[in-house]
Chain A
Amino acid sequence: MNPASQTQPETIVSVPIARWATVAAPSCLRTLLGSCVGVAVYDLTARVGGLAHVLLPDSRGQTDQPGKYADTAILALVAEIEAKLKGKPRSRLVAKIAGGANMFATTSAMSIGEQNVLATESILSRMDIKILARHTGGETGRRMTLDPKTGVVEIRIPGGGDVTL
């Protein structure tokens, strides 16, 4: 079990880089993103949701750090949500994604943010999980918060306003 999943009621659970966590309402999930992608998946009826903080697009078969890569992290995230749903259909799951910034355009890492977004979209599509909203790309970091009670994702941009997805 992912250690970040241990929650207290009515708290905001921080999701560290390359980890995921799942909670039931009224708890919320929060993470801080740069070129990483935050993948929020939730079931609004059950008020259960999860958030993965994906660092890189492809595990290339590595299994030791599942939270680090889009392919392994999203699979693990959805499996943990399904375990919490106790047999309810996966078809109710939907997603919202954020992040994938290219903060310093001259770096060799310039395309990783975009690759993370593309990989995330592709994996969610293969799993038949619809992306309801996204706030990706650009040059700034983001603070992403999921409330599984409402399905609302709040995005805070440094020095800017909040965006609601």
Chain B
Amino acid sequence: MSEHSPDPSTQRLHLIFDRGAENASQAFSRWLGHNVSLQIGEVDRVGLAEAVDAMGPGETLVAACAMEVFGPLDGQLLLIFEDQAGLSLVDLLMRMPLGTSRSWGELEQSAARETANIVGCAYLNALAHHLPGAVGSLVPGPPLFRHEFVGSLLEFALQDQAVNSDELLLIRTRFRATSDLLEWSLVFVPSGASVVKLSQILSPRDLG
């Protein structure tokens, strides 16, 4: 949860995105063949500098798969792994001992992209199902793999929101499998227009 006391629409948003995260967690578990647990789900409304540091020090090198989200709510969906955790994910998928994969070759990148596709679809399907008013299908674009500074990734993903607002919305979920070392994060950054739409969808008169 955010440090600030969340308003009702943020609480509602939190509940809905938690449903998405639960669905993604189940898809993750089936895909990996290991239990993947949901660790933390956070809905943050923060300033620019704080948003860019939301995943830790900006210079942290991460592997990430980015999917553009299309549909009534658009934006960016990022599956982010710290290097070693990402390579361990590949080892789990390939049924190899942890530590076997040591660099991001084509095979490793392909495994990460496929994981992002499966987890992203499950997440967005659940969101579309649980958002009030039957918003319609949310469709992810093809995942793009990047080995990147985490701060640069978030800066880019947040740019559309930053055009019209200095308070930014990002939704983070952390997953864990097998051990503390195997953690990944899923980050949804709605576009500026989608933030407005979400506030309309979740306005008090629609909360029943």
Listed in ascending order, the chain A residues whose CB lies under 8 Å from chain B are 16-19, 32-36, 55-56, 64-65, 68, 101, 103-109, 112, 139-143, 158-159
Determine if A143 and B162 form an interchain contact, defined as CB atoms under 8 angstroms apart.
Answer: no
B43: interface (CB < 8 Å): no
Residues of B within 8 A of A65 (CB): 166
Determine if B152 and A18 form an interchain contact, defined as CB atoms under 8 angstroms apart.
Answer: no
A142 to B48, CA, bound (A): 18
Task: Type the 1/0 row for B154-196, where 1 means its CB is closer than 8 Å to any CB of A.
Answer: 0110011011001000000000000000000000000100000
B32: interface (CB < 8 Å): no
Residues of A within 8 A of B59 (CB): 32, 143
Residues of A within 8 A of B72 (CB): none
Determine if A103 and B48 form an interchain contact, defined as CB atoms under 8 angstroms apart.
Answer: no
Q: Taking CB as reference atom, which chain A residue is nearest B61?
A: A158
Residues of A within 8 A of B22 (CB): none
- What's the dominant secondary structure at chain B's contact region? mixed
Determine if A158 and B148 form an interchain contact, defined as CB atoms under 8 angstroms apart.
Answer: yes
| Between-chain CB contacts (< 8 Å), 30 pairs | A17-B49, A18-B48, A19-B49, A32-B52, A32-B59, A34-B149, A34-B159, A35-B155, A36-B155, A55-B162, A56-B159, A56-B162, A68-B162, A103-B66, A103-B156, A104-B66, A104-B68, A104-B144, A106-B68, A107-B68, A107-B156, A112-B159, A140-B146, A140-B152, A141-B151, A141-B155, A141-B156, A143-B59, A143-B149, A158-B147
Residues of B within 8 A of A108 (CB): 68, 74, 160, 191
Listed in ascending order, the chain B residues whose CB lies under 8 Å from chain A are 48-49, 52, 58-59, 61, 66, 68, 74, 76, 141-142, 144, 146-149, 151-153, 155-156, 159-160, 162-163, 166, 191
Minimum Cβ distance to chain A for residue B101 (Å):
16
